[in-house]
Amino acid sequence: MIPALRNIPKSYSKAAASLLQPIYGRQTGGPQLPMCGPNLQSSFAISQGTDKCKTCTQTCTSGIRTITTNQTDEKPALAQVESIEKSQMEHFNLDTESLKKLNPSVSETITVHPISAVDIDGTKIKLTLTNGETLRYPTVWLRDNCQCSNCFNPLALGRSFLMQNLLSAPEADDARLSDAGDVEIRWKDGHESVFKAEWLQRRAFTEQARQKYRSRFSLPKKQWSHGHKVAEFDYPSLMEDDAALLRWLVVLETWGATLLKQTPSQPSAAYDLCERVAKVKYTHYGIYSSVVNHPQANNLAYTNQTLNLHNDMPQYQEIPGLIFLHMVKQHRGEGGDTIISDGLRAAEYMREHYPQQFETLVTTDVYFWDKGEGKDQMEMNQFYKINKGPTIQLNNSGEVSTIRFNNQVRDSHLDLPDDKVEDFYHALQIYFRLMYDNSVSFKMQDGDMTVLDNVRCQHARQSFEGDLTARHLVTTFMSWDEALCRRRRLQEQFKL
């Protein structure tokens, strides 16, 4: 049975509610379900292929039928999860306790203990620490990671040892503890390796050591929902203070959304911040793009129309990881509100409550495309991008790693047999509704810059009228590779 979807929450902003109305349908006194039709095998009393539903007898609008039911299996609303209070953003110090408030994994440390004994244990070398802990290291890993000058280049920080010279189970003739507390190994072929105690313990195969390096690779994410307070930072401080820059990068990686204040009015301000962090990501729209109304727009963003929640640039094989939305000049009048959503939160809620539809979005590849002509000298003269990937992409650990949702550039070509199409659209609409359930909205002011994790969070724009040339937004992108690089070097700089 298909669970009913709840009505638009009263707490939603006017902007979010107006965008949701076509999906939730008219409010007729009961739970609403979009896209009623023969593909929804449920107990709903619905017409098959007619313009009206038998239960509500209301004419459908925009292809969405509205139905009413007495079912009580409605899913609970998305619970509000942790948000950052503004007080946490003030007077930040780079000490362990302050960083733990932002993300505990930033300042996790591993206590290194002296080694008391070294033994050969089959195809492993066993270390006994002075605290009684036992660590085991496979000989194949030790031989592969020998740190001598013949096997490892300390200047290039790269392995010189060749794979063809590595045996599947190299044998150690002897393993002992040196007077300096290092581990010395003599191999059957006569080669000798020396390993520092700290080096080995930081690379131990324990869960604690592995988790520590996981967090150096990527900080654990914290989800948020409606009512979340987006963390605010001052643009000038990020440009001048390395500590503030690290703090911002940690919050951005953890929560996926930040709002910068006091941004200069120059269109290059976002580009300048990207270059302060690392490097901007070039797209066919240039190093940055001025989003203003164009009579002959080559992108829907260059209009005054409503834009649904979306991730930018899913037509790229390497989707830009970060998007910078700089409001140079805001529209004076009604409309133009910004809506953002934690797509990770919506995906995890869908995994728990709509597992079948979640699996559909994980396993169904979708085409995205963008084709056009450059409108100014910053843009590529002619472009034609196509990419294909699932709406929700998981990594090998089953974690959500990338979200691709963009109704504007989702291709009409769908690589599915016809009997799978309706299931796909049903799953897509459930995720769409959950994104809006999970959204916050605000109207950006002159000098505001919203920075989002573009492969996690979605953003939308409410339509606006009046002087269509008044609103000036600049969009810039950066790769997560570059942002994470900067975060790690700053952690080293501050010995974290």
Domain C-terminal end among 52, 74, 96: 74
- CATH number assigned to the domain comprising residue 477: 3.60.130.10
pLDDT at 389 over 50: yes
Amino acid at 130: T
> Which pLDDT score is estimated for 330?
85
Residues 194 and 228 in one domain: no
Q: Is residue 59 part of a domain?
A: yes
Give residue-wise pLDDT tens across range 38-62: 332 222 222 233 333 333 333 333 2
Q: Is residue 129 part of a domain?
A: yes
Domain C-terminal end among 192, 216, 240: 216
- CATH number assigned to the domain comprising residue 210: 3.30.2020.30
Residues 317 and 466 in one domain: yes
> Which pLDDT score is estimated for 147?
97
Q: Is residue 201 part of a domain?
A: yes
pLDDT at 195 over 70: yes
pLDDT at 322 over 50: yes
CA distance 449 to 474: 9
> Which pLDDT score is estimated for 92?
47
Domain C-terminal end among 158, 192, 216: 216
Residues 23 and 125 in one domain: no
> Which pLDDT score is estimated for 26?
31
Give residue-wise pLDDT tens across range 78-94: 655 555 554 444 444 55
pTM: 0.80
* CA neighbor of 11 nearest in space, from 91, 110, 77: 77
Give residue-wise pLDDT tens across range 396-428: 999 999 999 999 999 999 999 999 999 999 999
40-44, 211-215, 353-357: the lowest-pLDDT one:
40-44
Owning domain of residue 28: 1-74
Q: Is residue 278 part of a domain?
A: yes
Count of domains forming the chain: 3
Residues 181 and 250 in one domain: no
Residues 233 and 211 in one domain: no
Query: Rounded mean pLDDT of the chain?
Result: 81
Residues 282 and 389 in one domain: yes
Give the DSSP letter string of 208-252: HHHHHHHHHHSPPP----TT---EEEEHHHHHH-HHHHHHHHHHH
Percent of the chain with pLDDT over 70: 73
144-153, 374-383, 425-434: the lowest-pLDDT one:
374-383
Q: Is residue 189 part of a domain?
A: yes
Q: Is residue 82 part of a domain?
A: no
CA atoms within 13 A on the CB side of 310: 20
Question: What's the Rg (C-alpha) of the chain?
Answer: 27
53-57, 145-149, 155-159, 389-393: the lowest-pLDDT one:
53-57
Residues 120 and 239 in one domain: no
Residues 15 and 131 in one domain: no
Binned at pLDDT 50, 70 and 90, residue 370 comes out as very high
User: What tokens were used for 231?
Assistant: 């963390």
* CA neighbor of 149 nearest in space, from 140, 158, 141: 158
1-15, 251-265, 305-319: the lowest-pLDDT one:
1-15
Q: Is residue 89 part of a domain?
A: no
Binned at pLDDT 50, 70 and 90, residue 381 comes out as confident
Q: Is residue 127 part of a domain?
A: yes
> Which pLDDT score is estimated for 73?
39
Residues 28 and 172 in one domain: no
Amino acid at 477: F
Binned at pLDDT 50, 70 and 90, residue 103 comes out as confident
pLDDT at 377 over 70: no
The whole-angstrom distance between residue 340's C-alpha and the CA centroid of its chain comes to 13
Residues 207 and 230 in one domain: no
Binned at pLDDT 50, 70 and 90, residue 465 comes out as confident
Residues 148 and 42 in one domain: no
Query: Pick the residue with more confidence: 487 or 294?
Result: 487
> Which pLDDT score is estimated for 8?
38
pLDDT at 190 over 90: yes
Cβ atoms of 112 and 198 closer than 8 Å: yes
Residues 139 and 258 in one domain: no
Phi and psi at residue 327, to the nearest 5°: -85, 95
Query: Pick the residue with more confidence: 434 or 373?
Result: 434
Residues in the chain: 496
